[in-house]
Structure formats: C-alpha cells, structure tokens
C-alpha cells in the first residue's frame, strides 16, 4: 500500500498538506524543508518542481519558482535531493509540476525516476484526464505512483465521478475557481459546494486547496473535507525565514491552532 493510501487509512481528518517549491529559498533547502515540515506535524508534503511558466499558480509560487530556477534547480538535482531525503523520512511526498517538464524528461523515465527516489504521488495540473487516460494512465500505474486530479466548483457531477474514478490517493478540491494565493477566506457559496461534494460519497479522500492560509481557513476546510492544502502562505513565510526549522514549526503550529505566532 502506498504511503498516501496508508496515511488516509490511518487519519481521516485534519490532514495538513503543505506545498513548497523545491530549490527555494536555497537550492539545497529541499531536505530541510521536508524534514522540518514532518517534524512540525504536516501529514503530507507537496514538492513543487519550479517552472518558468506556471499557468495555474499565483504570483507567490511563480516568484518562488523563479528564485529556485536561478538558484540552479533542475529535475535531476531535485530527484537526487529527494532520494537522499527519503532515507530520513517516511512522510508521503507528492510531486507537483507542469506536464511539459515531464515530457522533456521523457514520460516513462520521469515516472520511473519518481518511483526510484521515493515519490508517492503526482499532481500535474495541466495534464487533462483525456490525455491521462489515453496515454499515461498505464505507465503511471505501473510505476506504482498515485495521482491526484483537481475538481472545482464548476466541475459537473458526471465529470467529478469520472475524476474520482481516475484519481488514486486523494482528490484535490479547488476551493474556488481561482489560482493559488488569489483569495482569502471561505464564503457561503464555497460551503455549499463543499457540502454538495460531501453528499456525493466519492471513493477518494479529499483535500481542499487554494485560499487556505491560517487556522481559521484550515479549520473551516477541515469541517468539509479530510484536510486541506496550504501553498502560498507557507512560501511567504519561508521567504523571510532566518531558520527554516523554526519558521516551519511556528507556521504549522499557527495553522493547527496550537499557538499563535507573535
């Protein structure tokens, strides 16, 4: 059983998935970030592959990607960083990136290497399910990788069922139709949407992402799903961090509501 499946079997609620951009703030901060997040109590980590043209991301993640790229981050470096970090932790790791990166690496090679270094799952926001089914589903399954697809408030019921079927690991539930880091808080309209999905009895657990930044939004999200995903808010904290470990600890505590940052 995959690390992701195991996590969701063992823990049904308040799951905290934190995204960070690999190579940010320093080229070699990947390991420190992962280990700090684990130590601080994150349940799942989304490792972002920095990309020149991240269409589905907001300015914070874009800029962190630019920094990572000018720090010299490449996929090969990232894979070896993960490989060595994997010796020290069993936390589930999900790789997030754009499909062009996968294509250029060579699809088969990419999936194999993910498996090899200890990646558990993938989020490829611009790989549509049609392409996935037609060309990549078999490869990814054979590599033993989970894959998360997104659903949004606009996704039709029929399509949600289809996406749920194709997803392995967890569903990425976009809180509102907007790119990461764009809006704050959770509205009534969103709650109605969360409830609607809840009522659908999907097979996959669900994490809510986009717009989660603090204890309030995290707690609300956790009322309607198995947990939530935080990205930009964490990147913003890291940007000004003197000590990754300490910053991360405080950030996770803040989100979990265990202490309030001063």
Partner 1 sequence: MIAIDQKGYYGEFGGAFIPEMLYPNIEELREQYLAIMADDSFEKEFRQLLKDYVGRPSPLYLAERLSEHYQAYIYLKREDLNHTGAHKINNTVGQILMAERLGKKRIIAETGAGQHGVATATVCALKGIECIVYMGEIDIQRQAPNVARMKMLGAEVRPATSGSKTLKDATNEAIRDWINNPEDTHYIIGSVVGPHPYPDMVARFQSVISEEMLWQLKEHTGKEDPDVIIACVGGGSNAAGAYYHYLNKDQVRLVAVEAAGHGIHSGESAATSVLGTKGIIHGSRTLLMQTPDGQIVEPYSISAGLDYPGIGPMHAHLIASGRAEAVSITDDEALASAYFVSKKEGIIPALETAHAFSALDKIEYDSSDVIVVNLSGRGDKDLATFIKHYDRFHK
C-alpha–C-alpha distance, residues 253 and 259, integer Å: 6
Q: Which residue lies nearer to partner 1 by CB, 55 or 260? A: 55
The yes or no reply on residue 66 touching partner 1 (CB under 8 A) is: yes
- The least distance separating partner 1 from the CB of residue 128, rounded to whole angstroms, comes to 6
* 120 is an active site residue: no
Q: Which residues inside 110-129 make contact with partner 1, applying CB under 8 A?
A: 125-128
Burial of residue 71, with CB atoms counted within 10 A of its CB: 0-12 exposed, 13-18 middle, 19 or more buried: middle
In whole angstroms, what is the distance from residue 208 CA to residue 176 CA?
Answer: 10
CA pair distance 79, 119, nearest whole angstrom: 9
Q: Smallest distance from the beta carbon of 112 to partner 1, in angstroms? A: 17
Of 183, 186, 49, 62, the C-alpha closest to 123 is 49
Does 75 help bind partner 1 (rule: CB under 8 A)?
yes
**Least distance from C-beta 220 to partner 1, angstroms?**
21
Q: Are 207 and 15 in contact (CB under 8 A)?
A: yes
Residue 131, interface with partner 1 (CB under 8 A)?
A: yes
Identify whether 38 is a catalytic site residue: no
Could you give the CA distance from residue 226 to residue 222 in angstroms, rounded to a whole number? 6
CB of 55 to partner 1, least distance (A): 5
Q: Which of these is catalytic: 38, 43, 57, 250?
A: 57
Using the minimum distance from each CB to partner 1, give the nearer residue, 52 or 142.
52
**Location of structure tokens 């060579």:** 106
Which residues lie near partner 1 (CB under 8 A)?
A: 51-53, 55-56, 58-59, 62, 66, 69, 74-75, 98-105, 125-128, 130-131, 149-152, 154-156, 159, 163, 174, 177-179, 182
């Amino acid at each position: 059983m995959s690390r992701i499946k195991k996590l969701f079997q063992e823990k049904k609620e308040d799951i905290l998935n934190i995204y960070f951009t690999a190579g940010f703030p320093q080229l070699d901060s990947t390991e420190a970030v992962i280990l700090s997040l684990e130590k601080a109590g994150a349940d799942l980590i989304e490792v972002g592959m920095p990309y020149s043209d991240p269409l589905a991301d907001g300015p914070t993640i874009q800029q962190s990607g630019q920094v990572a790229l000018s720090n010299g981050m490449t996929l090969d470096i990232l894979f070896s960083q993960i490989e060595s970090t994997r010796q020290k932790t069993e936390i589930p790791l999900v790789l997030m990136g754009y499909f062009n990166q996968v294509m250029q690496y060579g699809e088969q090679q990419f999936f194999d290497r993910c498996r090899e270094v200890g990646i558990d799952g993938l989020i490829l926001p611009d790989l549509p399910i049609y392409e996935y089914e037609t060309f990549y589903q078999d490869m990814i399954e054979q590599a033993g990788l989970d894959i998360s697809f997104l659903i949004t408030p606009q996704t039709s019921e029929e399509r949600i069922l289809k996406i749920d079927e194709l997803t392995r690991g967890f569903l990425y539930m976009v809180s509102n139709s907007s790119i990461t880091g764009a809006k704050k808080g959770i509205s009534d309209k969103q709650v109605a949407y969360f409830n609607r999905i809840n009522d659908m009895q999907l097979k996959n657990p669900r994490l809510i992402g986009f717009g989660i930044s603090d204890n309030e939004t995290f707690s609300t999200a956790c009322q309607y799903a198995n947990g939530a995903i935080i990205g930009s808010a964490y990147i913003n904290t890291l940007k000004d961090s003197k000590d990754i470990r300490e910053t991360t600890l405080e950030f996770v505590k803040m989100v979990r509501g265990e202490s309030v940052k001063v």
